């Protein structure tokens, strides 16, 4: 990837990360206050923030508020079985990304990656540092590493396939490290998981950008209405952050629940999608 683009993306993420952490402290901040804490003039901060987020700092702060998740459930919750029929896909960045995916065969899954070559690399994305893994058939893992660190994220993804051979290959992985910052295009996913996990991830792919669902709703959609806790576990095991949108799954109470790659990233993803799909 272009070095200047990488540096700019990293700067924007660090700015957003610091702002999110500060806004999470609870008290509403004026533009002047948050800009001063970020070390920028109000105009510079507003311009940079709005260019990255697609909305003003004040509006974004509303999306990050504790009540936003509850409002999403009240106003923008989707019924998975009817989402496509209702035309809820919208034109947002992530949902417009055409994803072609296939699940690893049961036999290959059982072999835990034996005979499989998995290439990997690290880089920067619009929501911070990333680790990507891919097989010859497509993207197999995408982790946000700001909270976990690269080593822990690598061990997490690689540990699912202990018999595979892992090869660092920045050139081969460069396109995959840019998928979250792509307006339109195509990305092949090669998903590795058990049958129940696959069903959960398929359900997540039917949740449109800017909308949310609950673990219980996913459980009903896949025909296991009493399995919301198992659904939560499967959501947490999603290996492809962002593209398989586990960040759109919330608790029925409106709470954010957990997020495997850190709640700051989940909040940023939801706020970004809300900003891009707001009327």
Average pLDDT value for residue range 157-180: 90
Of 116 and 16, more confident = 116
Average pLDDT value for residue range 256-269: 82
| pLDDT, tens digit (0-9, with 9 covering 90-100), for 29-56 | 888 988 898 888 989 888 887 777 667 7
**Looking at residue 71, what is its pLDDT?**
62
**Looking at residue 206, what is its pLDDT?**
82
Per-residue confidence band for 155, with pLDDT thresholds at 50, 70 and 90: very high
| pLDDT, tens digit (0-9, with 9 covering 90-100), for 204-249 | 888 888 888 889 889 998 889 989 889 999 999 999 998 899 999 9
Which active-site residues does the annotation give?
A: 246
Per-residue confidence band for 268, with pLDDT thresholds at 50, 70 and 90: confident
* pLDDT at 133 > cutoff 90: yes
**Looking at residue 68, what is its pLDDT?**
57
Average pLDDT, the chain: 77
* pLDDT at 3 > cutoff 60: no
Per-residue confidence band for 151, with pLDDT thresholds at 50, 70 and 90: very high
Rounded distance between C-alpha atoms, residue 228 and residue 235, angstroms: 10
* Percent of the chain residues past pLDDT 90, beyond the cut: 22
| pLDDT, tens digit (0-9, with 9 covering 90-100), for 96-121 | 334 566 667 777 777 888 888 999 99
**Looking at residue 157, what is its pLDDT?**
94
* pLDDT at 192 > cutoff 90: no
């Amino acid at each position: 990837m272009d070095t200047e683009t990488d540096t700019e993306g990293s700067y924007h993420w660090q700015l957003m990360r610091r702002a999110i952490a500060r806004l999470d402290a609870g008290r509403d901040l004026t533009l002047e206050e948050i800009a001063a804490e970020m070390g920028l003039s109000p105009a510079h901060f507003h311009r940079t923030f709005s260019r990255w987020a697609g909305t003003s700092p004040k509006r974004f702060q509303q999306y990050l508020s504790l009540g936003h998740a509850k409002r999403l459930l009240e106003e923008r919750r989707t019924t998975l079985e009817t989402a496509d029929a209702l035309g809820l896909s919208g034109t947002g960045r992530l949902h417009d990304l055409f994803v072609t995916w296939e699940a690893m065969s049961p036999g290959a899954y059982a072999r835990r990656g034996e005979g499989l070559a998995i290439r990997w690399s690290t880089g920067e994305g619009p929501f911070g540092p990333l680790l990507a893994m891919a097989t010859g058939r497509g993207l197999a893992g995408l982790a946000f590493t700001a909270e976990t660190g690269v080593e822990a994220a690598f061990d997490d993804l690689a540990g699912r396939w202990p018999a595979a051979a892992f090869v660092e290959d920045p050139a081969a992985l460069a396109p995959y490290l840019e998928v979250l910052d792509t307006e339109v295009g195509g990305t092949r996913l090669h998903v590795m998981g058990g049958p129940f996990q696959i069903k959960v991830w398929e359900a997540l792919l039917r949740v449109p950008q800017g909308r949310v669902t609950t673990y219980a709703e996913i459980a009903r959609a896949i025909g296991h209405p009493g399995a919301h806790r198992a659904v939560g576990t499967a959501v947490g095991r999603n290996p492809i952050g962002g593209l398989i949108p586990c960040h759109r799954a919330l608790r029925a109470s409106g709470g954010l629940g957990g997020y495997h790659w850190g709640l700051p990233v989940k909040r940023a993803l939801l706020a970004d999608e809300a900003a891009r799909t707001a009327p």
